Amino acid sequence: MNKKIHILLIEDDNNVSTYTSTTLENSGYKVTAAFTGKEGLSLTASLCPDIILLDLGLPDIDGCEVIEQIRSWRDNSNIPIIVISARDSEDEKVNALELGADDYITKPFGNAELIARIRTSLRHRHPHTQGTIYRAKELEIDFEKRYIRLAGEEIHLTQVEYQLLTLLAENSGRVLTYHYLIKTIWGPYADSNNQILRVNMANIRRKIEKNPAQPVYVFTEIGIGYRMLESESG
Ligand code: CA
């Protein structure tokens, strides 16, 4: 039998903690619960969990500080962190992502959504399991041969559109912030205004989406960034 994936759940709300632990254990994960930020940090160091689920509103230290600390330790800096938060504030989510969280999930969340996020985050930490092809519904991107096909027809993108779409596809299933996308594609001195990003995304959607107003491949997370439909290959 495979060694169980070990999840550290840092959450001060007893009900949420118990419910989430039970759900995850029923899905075959091993769960350790911490109820404060300090306890979470100490268990992260001693247990080296495979993944951390982190509530941002903790009684002792702020969840964002927990992310910063974990990311500053060399040995543990690679652990995927999924932020769970009742607070539906875009700024806070963006902040957590930019401090190094891998993803976020907003309370109340469904079990299927939680488990999908966990799988995505774990897979992205093991890139060798990622194929060189993105495939979902009718869209296929070959990162090596550098082509994009929709229902078998080749799609022609500009250089910038191609870079943007492949960056999202390589991280499919994960949200990438506007800031991260602009910095990665246009460099650190780019105008932080989102206009250039929105224009390119509109062009991409016109080329790959049947109805650009209701995209099925690249979703907008309002105030945060874009998330591409999870690849079915690899
Ligand atoms: Ca809390």
For 179-224, the pLDDT digits (tens) are 899 988 887 777 777 899 999 999 999 999 999 999 999 999 999 9
pLDDT band at 8 (very low <50, low <70, confident <90, very high): very high
Ligand 1 center–CA 224 separation, angstroms: 22
Give residues whose Cβ lies within 5 Å of ion ligand 1. Answer: 12, 55, 57
Ligand 1 center–CA 13 separation, angstroms: 6
Higher pLDDT, 14 or 1: 14
Residue 1 has pLDDT above 80, yes or no: no
User: Comparing C-alpha atoms, which of 10, 5, 4 is closest to residue 50?
Assistant: 5
Cβ-based neighbour number of residue 154 at 10 Å:
9
Starting at the edge strand that comes first in sequence, how are the strands of the sheet with 30-34 ordered?
A: 30-34, 6-10, 51-55, 81-85, 103-106
Strand partners, 142: 133, 147
Ligand 1 center–CA 63 separation, angstroms: 9
pLDDT in tens, 106-135: 888 899 999 999 998 888 776 544 568 999
Answer whether 24's CB lies under 8 Å from 55's CB: no
Answer whether 82's CB lies under 8 Å from 50's CB: no
Ligand 1 center–CA 178 separation, angstroms: 27
Average pLDDT of span 171-184:
91
Ligand 1 center–CA 85 separation, angstroms: 7
H/E stretch holding 215 reads: none
